[in-house]
Structure 1
Amino acid sequence: MAARIEVVADPVRDRCVLTTDQISPRRLGGPTGVVRIALVAAGALLLAGDQVRIEIVVSGPVRVEIVETAGTVAYGMRGASALWDVDIRLTGGASLRWYGEPFVVSADADVTRSTVVRMETGCTAELRESLVLGRHGEVGGALQTMMRAWIGDELVLAEDLDLSPESRSGWAILGTTRCLDTVTALGFRLPEDAHILQLEGPGSIARRLVHEQHESDLQLSS
């Protein structure tokens, strides 16, 4: 099972089909040409054994905005683990903006998180992902993250991060910080900046490493 958001552009009224699983998508009001969807937890998340999957399929020249009503906390799992998978498919000039709230990995949690984006040329996506290792005063648990993004047949982004406690303290990963805030642009580039990595294909990654999530100044571009 998966929570699913399926939006099809229509000249009269954009069609939207929402399917609830552990996450409940709910349509919000929005201007013409924009479909706004809120993500609400349908129960306690994220617990040992949970396998959360969110599918987003957008077709045609419509802009979809995903709103998270609250952050997510992965609680201690006592040797077990959980999955959080996102699959995004954009066609026909579709645009997606997703401003993620903090994803907190508590002490003794073990989470694997993946995001896969497949989009046609002419589509755009902008995703904000805010990862926090541990609640206040904690040494957070283990987090493995994976992201793959294709534009047409071209793989423009392939990234795997091991954010387990024994790996993430290296100077090239988190060092002494505990929060990794990222905005990923696909199908277009963010303005040139010393803190922005321009991908070889049309896309950019902006990142901040901070001690507390609220210290990050990252925002979506528009």
Structure 2
Amino acid sequence: MSLRAIARIAAEADGTLPVLVSDGPLALRRTRAAVPGWSRVTVVGAMSAPLGGDRLAIEAEVRDGARLRVDSAAATLALPGRTAEPAVYEVRLRAGSDAVLHWLPEQLVSAHGSDLRVRTGVDLAPTARLVLREEQILGRHGEPPGTLSSRLVVRRGGRPLLDQEIAYGPGAPGGWDGGAVLAGHRATGQLLVVDPAYEKTPVAARPLGELAALTPLAGPAALVTAVAPDALALRRILDEALEELTAG
């Protein structure tokens, strides 16, 4: 039987979490923040999900002046289910005036035979700041990937900042594994940093080594995209980019 679940988070500027609602496989736990003044929530998987046919969602609201970090205890593993219907995983994020949201989950692993559609929507106030990381691992060790499509839509002050969609695996448009996209790599990801400070001092477009690139976005924001041979190498690239972008 397919699952339907929606988990919800709301953070206030005083550090409280007036809404922290777990549902189904999406178990939310308040954890200790490393930085004073922040709230932190860790997503703990309570069961295997998403499976084919599942409909899962997480909603997070960072209210005016609040600072929230959301991470996860383990990777998300997309698996085939009893039905051929794809699984859907939605992430809905909202950050108010002077709010800060760090959305830093662990990797998403697309196992052979799975079919997952990920949809992430972000609405930011003009003075909000965001750090958002996405990492996809295409297949477990020694296996081909499942089918994975992921769309990220970000709005700032009601205006589009970023709208992109990617697809990998069987059924994806041709060329996804070619030299212009993955070039045989099985780990891919991106890091989006939205910060009003970039209006005065935008980042410069440049390569980050051989496997990643930094691109400034009108908005203002910075987008890092990367491929890598494995999850550890991908995380290293994105961590180094985040440290550079948030230095000072």
TM-score normalised according to structure 2 size:
0.83
Q: Indicate conservation of the 8 Å contact 2:120/2:152, yes or no.
A: yes
Equivalent residue of 1:2, what SS?
strand
Tell me what 1:24 maps to: 27
Equivalent residue of 1:137, what SS?
coil
State the distance in 2 between where 1:15 and 1:132 align: 32
Question: What is the 5 A alignment of 1:200-219?
Answer: 200-216=218-234, 217-219=237-239
Give the superposition deviation at 1:191.
Answer: 4.5
Correspondence 1:100 to 2:105: yes
User: Which 5+ residue runs of structure 2 have no aligned equivalent?
Assistant: 208-212
Query: Which residue of 180, 183, 194 maps to 1:175?
Result: 183
Structure whose residues are more often strand by fraction:
1
One-letter amino acid of the counterpart of residue 19, structure 1:
V
Q: Indicate conservation of the 8 Å contact 1:9/1:15, yes or no.
A: no
User: Which 5+ residue runs of structure 1 have no aligned equivalent?
Assistant: none
Tell me what 1:43 maps to: 47
One-letter amino acid of the counterpart of residue 159, structure 2:
E
Equivalent residue of 2:238, what SS?
coil
Alpha-carbon deviations, 1:134-165, whole Å to 9, x = none? Answer: 00011101111101000002101010112133
Q: Indicate conservation of the 8 Å contact 2:122/2:154, yes or no.
A: yes
Question: How many aligned residue pairs are there?
Answer: 220
One-letter amino acid of the counterpart of residue 173, structure 1:
V
Correspondence 1:146 to 2:151: yes
Q: Indicate conservation of the 8 Å contact 1:79/1:108, yes or no.
A: no
Question: What is the 5 A alignment of 1:23-172?
Answer: 23-30=26-33, 31-77=35-81, 79-165=84-170, 167=174, 168-172=176-180
Alpha-carbon deviations, 1:17-44, whole Å to 9, x = none? Answer: 2011131111112343100111111222
Stretch moving more, 15-24 or 110-119: 15-24
State the distance in 1 between where 2:62 and 2:104 align: 17
State the distance in 2 between where 1:169 and 1:79 align: 24
Give the superposition deviation at 1:126.
Answer: 0.5
State the distance in 2 between where 1:88 and 1:37 align: 14
One-letter amino acid of the counterpart of residue 41, structure 1:
G
State the distance in 2 between where 1:90 and 1:37 align: 15
Alpha-carbon deviations, 1:40-78, whole Å to 9, x = none? Answer: 112221212211100000112121011210001111336
Give the superposition deviation at 1:121.
Answer: 0.5
Equivalent residue of 2:224, what SS?
strand
Alpha-carbon deviations, 1:156-201, whole Å to 9, x = none? Answer: 1010112133532133321211111211112355843422011122
TM-score normalised according to structure 1 size:
0.92
Tell me what 2:210 maps to: none
Q: Indicate conservation of the 8 Å contact 2:49/2:78, yes or no.
A: yes
Equivalent residue of 2:232, what SS?
helix
Give the superposition deviation at 1:8.
Answer: 1.6
Q: Indicate conservation of the 8 Å contact 2:48/2:77, yes or no.
A: no
Q: Kindly, what percent of the aligned residue pairs are identical? A: 26
Alpha-carbon deviations, 1:53-108, whole Å to 9, x = none? Answer: 00000112121011210001111336332011100011121101122211000111
Structure whose residues are more often helix by fraction:
2
Q: Indicate conservation of the 8 Å contact 2:112/2:146, yes or no.
A: yes
Equivalent residue of 1:60, what SS?
coil
